[in-house]
């Protein structure tokens, strides 16, 4: 299996990602997936009114369209978060748009919310066999501006609400122009208010999280945490990718556009997580960013995360990372 993973990595990053997921799905359909990747014993963790089989989940982006929910779930994740999904299908930014920084266990991406649209995702949610916790990460189309952007979130929220256990509102991708402006006080207040209103209209009782950027100043991040704590929303996911490439040893990547993920993100995202937890100890947090091994996973929990998500670690290490992290 290690040889197969090495062969897959010969392909360009985006193609390799798809080939890997298709391969996992084939093993799942042949009912031999767990011969290669055995599941760990379940913990059964009660959080936010939901029962998680363990604290490790997938981050948005690993399965944008919900095409691989069942095979990912079979690996033993405690929850699966699909998306980011937008109201209309969109191709994303031009290729190449994913760059491996292999020696530093990192990836730079400027995908731009490429996805097949919320209706496609809902169809997959309806037919899934996976019975574990599902979250949907929602976003806005690139061409939407101002109020249209808020409406995009509400449209996605409305369409997925009946088919998901929780919803994540992604305001932090660096690859959709001006999206991070939603971190500003006025904008985030409007967004939170609209989400609260729509959750009442739909009678949606599941958790709602905001996924934030690690690149905003601490004051702005703490302000968002304060607003969320005072609202009916549940908590924060900390964090998305960083636009700061200066932490990379290889200077040729410092000028690359896009978001940096993987091992170099661990320190900045975990520091942000801890700062929020120190100030708002009762606010539920999900930690993501830079988790490559069990020590990273444990560090996120120690710094205040109730749950932890992985994406780049999965692509760097392979599916065995799930067992590596969860095994006693």
User: Would you please indicate which residues are annotated as catalytic (active-site) residues?
Assistant: 173
With a CB cutoff of 8 Å and minimum separation 6, the contacts of 276 are 221, 222, 225, 236, 238, 283, 285, 304
Q: Please give the Cα distance from 214 to 211 (Å, whole number).
A: 10
By three-state DSSP, how is residue 285 classified? Answer: strand
DSSP-derived letter for residue 188 is H
By three-state DSSP, how is residue 48 classified? Answer: coil
Q: Please give the Cα distance from 313 to 40 (Å, whole number).
A: 18
Q: Please give the Cα distance from 108 to 71 (Å, whole number).
A: 26
**Which class for 186: exposed (0-12), middle (13-18), buried (19 or more C-beta within 10 A)?**
exposed
């Amino acid at each position: 299996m290690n040889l197969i993973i090495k062969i897959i990595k010969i392909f360009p990053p985006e193609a390799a990602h798809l080939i890997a997921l298709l391969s996992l799905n084939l093993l799942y359909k042949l009912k031999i997936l767990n011969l290669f990747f055995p599941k760990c014993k379940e913990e059964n963790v009660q959080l936010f009114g939901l029962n998680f089989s363990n604290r490790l989940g997938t981050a948005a982006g690993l399965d944008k369209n919900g095409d691989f929910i069942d095979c990912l779930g079979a690996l033993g994740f405690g929850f699966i978060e699909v998306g980011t999904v937008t109201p209309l299908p969109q191709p994303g930014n031009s290729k190449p748009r994913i760059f491996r920084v292999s020696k530093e266990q990192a990836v730079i991406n400027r995908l731009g919310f490429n996805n097949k649209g919320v209706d496609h995702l809902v169809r997959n949610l309806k037919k899934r066999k996976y019975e574990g916790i599902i979250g949907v990460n929602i976003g806005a189309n690139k061409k939407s501006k101002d109020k249209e952007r808020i409406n995009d979130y509400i449209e996605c929220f409305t369409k997925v609400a009946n088919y998901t256990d929780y919803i994540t509102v992604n305001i932090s991708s660096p690859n959709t122009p001006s999206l991070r402006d939603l971190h500003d006080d006025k904008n985030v207040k409007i967004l939170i208010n609209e989400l609260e209103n729509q959750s009442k209209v739909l009678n949606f009782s599941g958790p709602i999280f905001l996924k934030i950027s690690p690149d905003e100043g601490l004051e702005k991040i703490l302000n968002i945490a304060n607003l969320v704590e005072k609202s009916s929303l549940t908590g924060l996911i900390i964090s998305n990718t960083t636009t700061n490439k200066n932490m990379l040893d290889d200077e040729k990547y410092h000028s690359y556009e896009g978001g940096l993920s993987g091992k170099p993100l661990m320190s900045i995202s975990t520091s942000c997580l801890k700062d929020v937890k120190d100030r708002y100890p009762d606010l539920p947090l999900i930690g993501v960013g830079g988790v490559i091994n069990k020590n990273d996973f444990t560090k996120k929990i120690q710094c205040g995360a109730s749950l932890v998500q992985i994406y780049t670690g999965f692509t760097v290490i392979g599916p065995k990372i799930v067992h590596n992290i969860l095994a006693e």
